Chains A and B, each alone.
Chain A
Amino acid sequence: MKRSARLSSVINRLAPFLGLLLVILIFSLMPEVQSRFLRAANLKAVATQSVIVALGALGMTVVIISGGIDLSAASNIAFTSVIVAAAVNAGIPPGPALLAGVILGGIIGLVNGLLITKLRLVPFIITLGMMGIARGLAKWLAHNQKIDAPLTWLNELMAKSPHPPWLLLAPGVWLMIILAVLMAVLLRKTVFGRHVFAIGSNEATARLCGVRTDRAKIMIYALAGLFCGLAGVMEFSRLTVGDPTVAVGLELDIIAAVVIGGGSLSGGEGSILGSMIGVFIMSLLRNGCTMMGWPNYIQEIIIGVIIIAAVALDRIRHRREA
């Protein structure tokens, strides 16, 4: 009995991974694209395209495990991309400009956390409001236009072919991988991580056990904001301009990635590895569909089906466990 329990828990952990393999398998069997799909150059492009959603998903995973949600993620990304562009445009060196973007993203998250805990309102409402506020600020700051900025090393973070070439992957991709590992360690190996899971599983219990739930939640949203800030930097790097209308609706892609990766919107469940796999399932699907020459709407339908199927499978597994 013990062994079968362990086996089923291994299968549970592998389920998103199996989904990823399935997507790869399907496209590598399609005669139209099989020669191009698994090429290194293509996979490299997919990895680079995934960076922005992946960074957002790193923060969102923590938020969702704690039983919350951050709808302001995409607006925050647009806001910080405008900040960085404006900073570089004003002659500020790229390094400080990058830091400014990340920190301002973090401040937006911090405000989310403070409002959620001090006003005792649900995260959905607070971050829904912040979604509008951050987007509006971005447009205001940019006078409703794109902000051009001179090329700096910031734009190489998301370059298709990295410089120097021995890096193999764009610096942004490496950053994403390193941060994903750090976040997985943070969630699994630290006191803060335990508290995140405890709050998501049962906030009342966490409070009873002396967890400073308010402080932890403020930190969780601030952390998510920092990741949005970094994603905003990447967005600027990719576009080479600051565009206040970029990434509309991207928060739903980020949430979908976390959910496909096993995150539960009622809290207490989720993992960084799962969310990252969720991100890659979505980007590989997009990539494969584009290669097949399928129209955009087909991709949207397929991703919609995958979200529902992933969560339904998750529920079925849970029911069997209980």
Chain B
Amino acid sequence: MTSSGSLSPALEMRGIVKRFGATEALAGVDFSLAEGEVHALLGENGAGKSTLMKILSGALRADGGEMRLAGKPYHPSDPRVGRRGGVAMIYQELTLASHLTVEENISLGREPHRRGFLRRTDVRRKIRETLDFLHHPEIDLDAKVASLGMGARQIVEIARAIMDRSRILVMDEPTSSLTREDMDRLFQVIRKLREDGVGIVYISHFLEEVKEVADRFTVLRDGRNSGGGRIAETSFADIIQLMVGGKMEALFPRTIRTPGDVLLSVEELKGGEMSRPVSFDLRRGEILGLAGLVGSGRTETLRTIFGLDPAEKGSVRFAGTSALSGKPWTRIEAGVGLLSEDRQGEGLALTCSLTDNMTLSRLRPYRRFGFLDDSRRRAAAAGWIDRLNIKAGGTEQAVEGLSGGNQQKVALARLLHQEAEVLLLDEPTRGIDVGSKTQIYGWMNRLAAEGKGLLFVSSYFPELLGVCDRIAVFHRGMLLAVRPAADWTEEHLLAAATTGKAS
């Protein structure tokens, strides 16, 4: 695999296998990294990149395969062993303690001391040297991390890894929250580390920056190697083809439907969390897909429409009625429902029962003289359990005991029970089994055929192409293009989402 003969392999992974229950997340993946090399690891969501890196760091254990670090067998049992072996991860969500200073963060857990008293002079000198080496002498050792920008925090994290004498750095989407300026500074640091012989695994969805910073690349698809090579000799189109592959058409039920009147009209809407205003219309009987990478502004748009994030300007109109500001309860009364991407944190009250979760957004029909009629509420919940084929111990079971797919069906049942006319679905099929997925596609089709309007956010392009009537693509907060689904291909969607250019 090592095409560049002069470099010795710092890391060698061969035939790595990882299973989660019945699904095979990795089916014999090979990966190697030389000293002083930046190696891009590419693939769509769910291709197995993070699983592979978790095995490398020791956060997960492989079910098969072999790993060698600098020629010696390496099988880390937990991340601390990985760190001691010289493998450091720089995650998307940084792992710094924001209440502590730069110095305290970098020396955390290995504070030099004599009989329990800190000896700070040596460690401060070493940190200074490291930051100078990274060309970031301006970072103040006594500044609280909370006061630093995202770019500087990343440098602190890298400094900590280097102080650890790490020889392999894994950077997972390091630029997703950086400005262009911070990004250039990060790339300088990466080049500096490469000169110093550090091997870097670089995971990113943004192909342009991969081209800018990486030497080699490896593409994973469905838990297998689908290709790789030198990045300078490969075109974007070839890489995208490797990522997408010749995928089978999944079975998406689709009845013929003709979109009707405009149900939801979004004009120049900008919420507090959105970086740019967006405009689009959603018609009755239509499924409009919102494609894009994680963090590209799709979720923020849905939340602003629903009133969970405050709107700053622009307008949202439901079937003609105008409403800019609004809280979720006014939206629900207007017939809008939201299915949250964060099922456990926001979507469901995990310790509450199926009945409570399904009926919480519409308790009014069960209210009689101020009292709740629990038997009718349970009967309604039982009906939805039946119709959606939810596997549960009964209406009064707490939803935390259900599988992911069944939990998601409870969240969907809530929107159905609420009789929402406009359904905002944020990653409704993420992390659930294939059977539940197919059922959710079926329900989406059925709801559209009944004349409801659906906004469908997904990072999985085949399901967008299979289910939607029209698809809009977001790139770094900007809505690029809205086109009929038939005019898009997976390659075009991926290209638009990763490069920001809709061809």
Could you list which residues of chain A lie within 8 angstroms of chain B, going by C-beta atoms? 1-2, 5, 185, 189-191, 193-194, 197-198, 201-202, 204-212, 268-269, 322
Contact = CB atoms under 8 A, between A and B. Distances in A.
B349 interface: yes
Most buried by A among B308, B348, B414: B348
Most buried by A among B331, B349, B350, B363: B349
A202 B346 contact: yes
Contact of B340 (A197, A208, A211, A322): A208
B361 A201 contact: no
A208 to B, nearest CB: 6
B347 A208 contact: yes
11 contacts: A1-B393, A191-B370, A194-B360, A197-B352, A202-B349, A202-B350, A205-B349, A205-B360, A208-B347, A211-B360, A268-B349
B182 interface: no
A211 B367 CA distance: 15
B352 A201 contact: yes
A322 B348 CA distance: 17
Nearest to B355: A194
Contacts of B389: none
Most buried by A among B333, B348, B360, B370: B360
B351 A205 contact: no
Contact of B349 (A2, A198, A210): A198
Given A2-B394, A209-B361, A211-B360, A190 B348 contact: no
Most buried by B among A205, A212, A322: A205
Contacts of B351: 201-202, 268-269
B371 interface: yes
B349 to A, nearest CB: 4
B236 interface: no
A205 B347 contact: yes
B133 interface: no
Contacts of A208: 308, 328, 338, 340, 346-347, 361
A265 to B, nearest CB: 14
At the interface, is chain A mostly helix, strand, loop or mixed? helix
Interface in B357-391: 357, 360-361, 363-364, 367, 370-372, 374
Contact of A212 (B329, B342, B346, B360): B329
Contact of B350 (A5, A201, A209, A212): A201
Interface in B323-348: 327-329, 331-333, 338, 340, 342, 345-348
B491 interface: no
A190 B372 contact: yes
Contact of A210 (B331, B340, B342, B401): B331
B286 interface: no
Contacts of A269: 351
B352 A189 contact: no
Given A189-B374, A204-B340, 14 more contacts: A5-B393, A191-B367, A191-B370, A191-B372, A193-B372, A202-B348, A202-B351, A205-B347, A205-B360, A206-B349, A208-B346, A209-B360, A211-B329, A268-B351
A190 B373 CA distance: 9
Interface in B281-295: none
Contacts of A197: 352, 356
A322 B327 contact: no
Contacts of A194: 356, 360, 363, 372
B267 interface: no
B352 A198 contact: yes
Interface string B258-274: 00000000000000000
A194 B364 CA distance: 12
B410 to A, nearest CB: 11
B400 interface: yes
A1 B401 CA distance: 14
A209 B352 contact: no
Nearest to A214: B327
A104 B371 CA distance: 28
Contacts of B345: 202, 204
B334 to A, nearest CB: 10
B351 to A, nearest CB: 5
Nearest to B344: A202
Given A197-B356, A201-B352, A209 B332 contact: yes
**3 nearest CB pairs, A to B:** A210-B332, A209-B361, A210-B329
A44 B414 CA distance: 49
A201 B349 contact: yes
Contacts of B340: 204, 208
B362 to A, nearest CB: 8
A207 B356 CA distance: 14
B57 to A, nearest CB: 28
Contacts of B332: 209-210
Contacts of A207: 308, 328
Contacts of B401: 322
A217 B174 CA distance: 40
A185 B338 CA distance: 31
A102 B188 CA distance: 68
A202 B398 CA distance: 13
B250 to A, nearest CB: 29
B356 A210 contact: no
Contacts of B342: 204
A220 B443 CA distance: 39
Contacts of A209: 328, 332, 360-361, 414
A189 B372 contact: yes
